[in-house]
Amino acid sequence: MQGEMNFVIDGGRPLSGTVETSRSKNGAVALLAASLLNKGRTTLHRVPKIEEVNRLIEVLRSIGVGVEWEGSSLVITPSEKIDVGLIDRAAATKTRSILMFIGPLIHLFNDFELPQSGGCTLGLRSIRQHLWVLEKFGVTIETLTDRYHIRHDGLKSATAILYEASDTATENALFAAAKIPGTSVIKYASANYQVQEVCGFLRALGVKIGGVGTSTLTVTGVKDINQDIAYSVAEDPTDSMFFITAAIATKSALTITKAPIEFLEVELFVLEKMGLQFSVTDAGVSENGITKLADIHIRPSELVAFPEKIHARPYPALNIDNLPFFAVIATQAQGTTLIHDWSYEKRAIYYTELDRLGAITNLHDPHRISIEGRRELKAAEVICPPALRPATIILVAMLGAKGRSMLRNVYSINRGYENIVRRLQELGASIEAHTG
């Protein structure tokens, strides 16, 4: 970064027009890790140019992997001289996605270290899921003060059971199983969009995977993967949800195209019960042949609070990354909305930052918060929360708040959203980015 970037927003203005869903942050970073499994050249199309991707590119280059941009595509050229000891520690510690390098790297080294991961600040985030699932394949992970020590004496196929349906732990298990001859089974796996993305990529590399989209994955590994492959990153449901929420906060009519509809259906069900008027039209399938797409047409609506608590669960339920958006939506819904953010120790605390913009929140504990509506939001200056999703809800609230707001130090937003200022400007928002 060249200095601190801030957003200045003149809010309270209606938006209009059409916005295309961007490609997935979580899918892109998982595919970057997966490319380490391939001895051939991997070309990833439609990669979002975001800070999270930039950090992983820096990591890959530092250990000897060739990575070059060609427009919106990344060409990844493997090397026989990968050296994990040369890893860019500064880049690695800025992203939790570095954990997904464990699965691919165990096929290259039987003893190595990775820096402790960073990324979003969301309280305690244990890596035990990764430890427990990978130990079934013969891997030991030791957590030290500032790094992870990973080792094994030989990998073996296995049946691995996940304590929770963790996205990244499921992906690490897939990476481990992908190059172990024989059949492995991953039970109680995540079936989330980024996991399905990884499954599509591994299938294209010749790995047989059964049960894609379910909680049981059966993987028949391939000892050697060496082929030139091109694969496109699929659309991001959290990006679609951002613009759905922006339409609600600004009382606007918007069309969000190419939304990955199967990962938004529960969210739309909740919004329908809250009174949101919208329609959905089919838009085909993404290039991966897996992700079904739809265009969502949002109309200005009078909302009421959802009569039950709103909480996330593993797919096919409401997505954990979409849950924070309901905090903003609740400010525009008549009545009291209870949000239960059970999976992160402290994320709900960040929702109280909406009070600075005129919201009325009642934090019951680190997981549960009640939000009163309907509130007319007001402009304010806010320091951006250090976590991606809480940061974006402040931005969306500012779009709906009358007056001039400033959101300071927006690095956490740039980790996950590409060209967000330009895309909002094209919809009629008054927003500028200033670096200083």
Tokens encoding 254 = 């918007």
CATH superfamily placement of domain 25-232: Enolpyruvate transferase domain (3.65.10.10)
- Asked if the model's pLDDT at residue 73 lies above 50, the reply is yes
CA angle 352, 353, 355 (to 5 degrees): 75
Under the banding of pLDDT at 50, 70 and 90, the label for residue 1 is: very low
Alpha-carbon distance of 137 to 119, in angstroms, equals 27
Whole-number pLDDT of residue 128:
85
Sequence ranges of the chain with CATH classification 3.65.10.10: 5-22+235-435, 25-232
Q: Identify the band that residue 124 occupies on the pLDDT scale cut at 50, 70 and 90.
A: very low
Of 412, 428, 376, which Cα lies nearest the Cα of 25?
412
Residue type at 334 in one-letter notation: Q
Q: Which amino acid is at 60?
A: L
pLDDT at 343: 84
Query: Does the structure show a pLDDT above 80 at 95?
Result: yes
Do strands 253-260 and 229-232 pair parallel, antiparallel, or not at all (unpaired)? unpaired
Q: Are strands 333-340 and 303-304 parallel, antiparallel or unpaired?
A: parallel
pLDDT digits (tens, 9 = 90+) for 251-278: 999 999 999 999 999 999 999 999 999 9
> Is residue 19 classed as helix, strand or coil in its secondary structure?
strand
335-344 pLDDT tens trace: 999 999 998 8
Give me the pLDDT at residue 345, please.
78
Q: How far is CA 5 from CA 328, 403, 417, 423, in A?
A: 23, 20, 14, 17
Between 26-40, 104-118, 120-134, 178-192, the lowest mean confidence (pLDDT) is in 120-134
Distance CA 52, CA 94 (A): 8
Element (H, E) at 413: helix 411-414
* First-to-last C-alpha distance (Å) of the chain: 11
- Average pLDDT value for residue range 331-351: 93
3-state secondary structure 104-120: HHCCCCCEEEEECCCCC
pTM of the entire predicted model: 0.94
DSSP line for 356-409 = GGT-EEEE-SSSEEEEEE----B--EEEPPSSHHHHHHHHHHHHHSBEEEEEE-
Residue 123's pLDDT is what?
45
Q: Percentage of the chain with pLDDT > 90? A: 90
Q: Residues 384, 9: contact at Cβ < 8 Å?
A: no
Contact 361, 355 (CB under 8 A): yes
**Residue 244: how many CA atoms within 13 Å on its side-chain side?**
33
Q: Give the mean pLDDT of the chain.
A: 95
Rounded-to-integer distance, Cα 431 and Cα 315, Å: 34
The secondary structure of 241-258 as a DSSP string is HHHHHHHHHTT-EEEEEE
Which class would CATH give 5-22+235-435? alpha beta
